[in-house]
Amino acid sequence: MTEPNYLDTPQGRRIAYHRSAGTGPGLVFLGGFVSDMEGTKALHLEDWARAQGRAFVRFDYSGHGQSSEDFIDGCVGDWTEDAMAVLEALTEGPQVLVGSSMGGWIALLCARAMPARVAGMVTIAAAPDFMTTSMWAELGADGQKRVMEEGIYEIPSDYDAPYRITRRMIEDGHDQTVLDKPLALEFPVRFLQGTEDEAVETDVALRLLAHATGPDLRLTLVKGADHRFSTPECLALIESSVEQVLAATGDAR
């Protein structure tokens, strides 16, 4: 694993990143909640982009991976600011955003805030608004009470450690919602979703597709795929979806 470079954001956070040179539109990978830029999908897509001679960036949000700050001090709004800082400082021209889980939500927020910098989008098990929907429900009545009164609460996860959810995350989540207001995506978009995803239900993908507006929005459901979406078949589908988006922008190879 090579050492990352670092970007200092306007908010004073230090973001670890890896960037591969190439032509545009480049790709920017947006990871999930408590994930980092060393995941299977990010590394696979980086290799694919290099083979294509296409620019690529992967990075860690603040409080994730090798970036600065403590995870429990962050929230979706902060991590969206990190992503927008990466787009502004490390890329040129419109980019294709590839967002996994929470990264799909952040991709949508970036597109809303800076549409001129987005050429296209691929989401993988996108989890828009999950702080105030599925995460809030998973806390249960006791957890909801405790997180609001005590400021932090832990819930089990399917990964190494429990999720530490803070009151700030929940309150900020209300300010970052995208499914309760107009969501115009005026560029090619491919939503990917596994039917056996236990973290993001298929209904979320269907609701996102129904809610968003745009000239070229498509949803692909993969029977049997789980939230990781990292089997060889799923990785190949991510590649082909990126290729479709690039072709729709007029940059097919």
Q: How confident is the model at residue 156 (pLDDT cuts 50, 70, 90)?
A: confident
What pLDDT sits at residue 250? Answer: 78
- For residues 181-217, one letter each, b for 16 or more C-beta atoms within 10 angstroms of the residue's C-beta and e for the rest, the string is eebebebbbbbbbbeebebbbeebbeebeeebeeeeb
Convert the pLDDT of each residue in 85-143 to its tens digit: 999 999 999 999 999 999 999 999 999 999 999 999 999 999 999 999 999 998 999 99
Q: Is residue 160 packed enough to be buried (19+ CB in 10 Å), middle (13-18) or exposed (0-12)?
A: exposed
List the one residue out of 70, 231, 195 whose CA is nearest residue 205. Answer: 195
List the one residue out of 136, 129, 134, 126 whose CA is nearest residue 97. Answer: 126
Residue 185, pLDDT > 80, answer yes
Dihedral sign for Cα 35, 40, 41, 42, please. positive
What pLDDT sits at residue 49? Answer: 97
Show the tokens assigned to 129. 């608004």
What pLDDT sits at residue 184? Answer: 97
Convert the pLDDT of each residue in 14-63 to its tens digit: 999 999 999 989 999 999 999 999 999 999 999 999 999 999 999 999 99
Q: Can you tell me the distance from the alpha carbon of 217 to that of 228, in angstroms, rounded to the nearest whole number?
A: 22
Q: How confident is the model at residue 3 (pLDDT cuts 50, 70, 90)?
A: very high
Q: Can you tell me the distance from the alpha carbon of 17 to that of 84, in angstroms, rounded to the nearest whole number?
A: 13
Dihedral sign for Cα 26, 22, 232, 18, please. negative
What pLDDT sits at residue 163? Answer: 84
The rounded percent of the chain whose pLDDT value lies above 70 is: 98
Convert the pLDDT of each residue in 169-179 to its tens digit: 999 999 999 99
Q: How confident is the model at residue 253 (pLDDT cuts 50, 70, 90)?
A: low
Show the tokens assigned to 77. 């709004």
Give the predicted TM-score (pTM) of the model: 0.96
Show the tokens assigned to 50. 């290099």
Convert the pLDDT of each residue in 190-204 to its tens digit: 999 999 999 999 999
Show the tokens assigned to 212. 């968003």
Residue 252, pLDDT > 70, answer no
Q: How far, in Å, are 4, 33, 58, 120 from residue 19 at the CA level?
A: 9, 21, 7, 19
- CB atoms under 10 Å from CB of 144, counted, come to 16
What pLDDT sits at residue 173? Answer: 97
Dihedral sign for Cα 88, 92, 94, 96, please. negative
* Beta bridge partner(s), residue 192: 124, 220
Show the tokens assigned to 229. 């979406």
The rounded mean pLDDT for the chain is 95
